[in-house]
A and B are shown apart, each in its own frame.
Chain A
Amino acid sequence: MRPNFFHHLHPPTIPAKQSRWRYTLGAGGIAVFLSLVLLVTGALEMFYYIPTQAEAAQSIQTISYLVPFGGLVRNLHFWAAQLLLIVVAVHLVRVVFTGAYTPPRRFNYLLGLALFILSILLDFTGYILRWDQGIQWALVVGTNLLKTIPWIGESLYRLLIGGAELGDATLIRFYAWHIVGLILLASILGIWHLFRVRRDGGVALPPPNLRADHERISRFELVRREVLAMIFVSAALLLLAAFVPAPIAPPITELTAISGDVRAPWFFLWVQEMLKWGDPFFWGILVPLFMLVLLAIIPYFFPQPAEHEIGSWFPKSNRLAQIVVAVLASAVLVLTLIE
């Protein structure tokens, strides 16, 4: 048989350590699986979802309450999206805490970071598609935040919302980004990310002469573990989908009316909290951007993990990177909890 992409990602044997749960946490693989669930359930939702102000929220109610298995499909889509953000964040933290980003993996680290941002944007655009009273103020605040950017803010705002005012043009733009623009970018970068994992020699380990553990496992053992992870994740998704429905509120009647939920979606609560502190451009745009840049430069400007420590938890050699990521993560967590 000719080798294909599956074989590229599953060589005949790999070092056992590369697929230990306690090393990788399985987070990257679970993210791939969740993305596939999102593609399938999202494609199914497209058969009913109507991206107009008048009908969006209603069409989601139709999916949720009338279409056979529609509620299941929608809840799976919702929960897979929320879990994806958490799993991708865990994956990022794991990569830093095990020093797995050293050359030749620096570029793949950046690809991963871009995928994290794309997942957040996908989650936000998907959330806006509800066009119900629950998303109203997040939409107003989020888009107005762009306007605070000097020079280009106003044009960026119009480009995003498709006019001078929120309306049908806005919804169709968010829809196009959600189902085509962002998905296209994420698919290209996602496939590239996976390809690079193998090209860079698989999951990060010390060079062979510095390895303590020489055990290897076969392709079949690797696939067995992957299937196991898929079964666990599917069970968790099905439980969540069965017992905790995705939110939907009445449709927006007037974009100015005082109604609905003023809370941002959960993954932006930390930004909402910071916006209370003053200048929106500084707290809402510069600070998050600064955090992103800080993450991006870790493989390039921070003390590097020593070769023999790569792939073990909390290497002494890259303490600074671990501290920075721990501080950023705790800050986001605390801000989210107090908001």
Chain B
Amino acid sequence: MDIFSRRDFLKLTNRALLTLSGLLGLGGLLRFLGYQGEEAPATEFDVGLSENYPLNSTTILPDVPAVLEHTAAGFSAMSLTCTHLGCTVEQDGEGYLCPCHGSRYDSDGQVEHGPATEPLPPLKVELEADGELKVSLS
């Protein structure tokens, strides 16, 4: 009977309620800070008229960032965002080098050495009716 007195019980209840209100408050704070206004970051980029990119040319599009290639097979694009932690890679000889932690990719975006483990992903390129090119992420 003495093992768990009335006083212990009240103390425990008190602690439990305090902890609970603390957690509720923290949960509320997280929800408050977690509000997202505008969703949808830009995923499509108008990169101008297709004539600006002649056959057999490779062009860096710094705003995307991506590299746009025009071959006999048509237009293709590859992301230039390092798959390690998101720095923009730089052209380095045939391939690409990330200045942040030194990942190297070959000209097709395959990893030559890490720390990155994933290749640079290809991007979708669309040619609109009015001759405008559109590059979209994903």
* Residues of chain A having any CB pair with chain B under 8 Å: 137, 140-141, 144-145, 155, 158-159, 162-165, 169, 254, 256-258, 262, 272, 275-280, 284
Q: Known: A145-B85, A278-B115. Is A164-B63 also a contact (CB below 8 A)?
A: no
A-contact bits for B19-58, CB 8 A (1 contact / 0 none): 0000000000010011011111110000000000000000
Are B100 and A254 closer than 8 Å at their CB atoms? no
Chain B nearest CB: distance from A26 CB in Å?
A: 37
Please list 20 pairs of residues, one from A and one from B, whose beta carbons are closer than 8 Å in the complex, sorted by A's number. A137-B100, A140-B85, A140-B87, A141-B100, A144-B85, A159-B33, A162-B37, A164-B39, A254-B62, A254-B63, A256-B81, A257-B62, A258-B62, A262-B87, A272-B100, A275-B84, A275-B100, A275-B115, A276-B115, A284-B85
Q: Which B72-96 residues have C-beta < 8 A from chain A?
A: 81, 84-88, 90
Are A256 and B65 closer than 8 Å at their CB atoms? yes
Q: Does B131 contact A (CB under 8 A)?
A: no
Chain B nearest CB: distance from A185 CB in Å?
A: 13
Partner of A140, one of B41, B86, B90, B115: B86
Are A262 and B99 closer than 8 Å at their CB atoms? yes
In the bound complex, CA of A254 to CA of B80 (Å): 14
The 4 closest A-B pairs by CB, nearest first: A165-B41, A262-B99, A144-B86, A276-B101
Partner of A141, one of B42, B85, B102, B114: B85
Q: Known: A256-B62, A256-B65, A262-B100. Is A275-B85 also a contact (CB below 8 A)?
A: yes
**Chain A residues closer than 8 Å to B99, beta-carbon distance:** 137, 258, 262
Chain A nearest CB: distance from B35 CB in Å?
A: 9
Chain A nearest CB: distance from B102 CB in Å?
A: 6
In the bound complex, CA of A140 to CA of B83 (Å): 12
Q: Which B104-119 residues have C-beta < 8 A from chain A?
A: 114-115
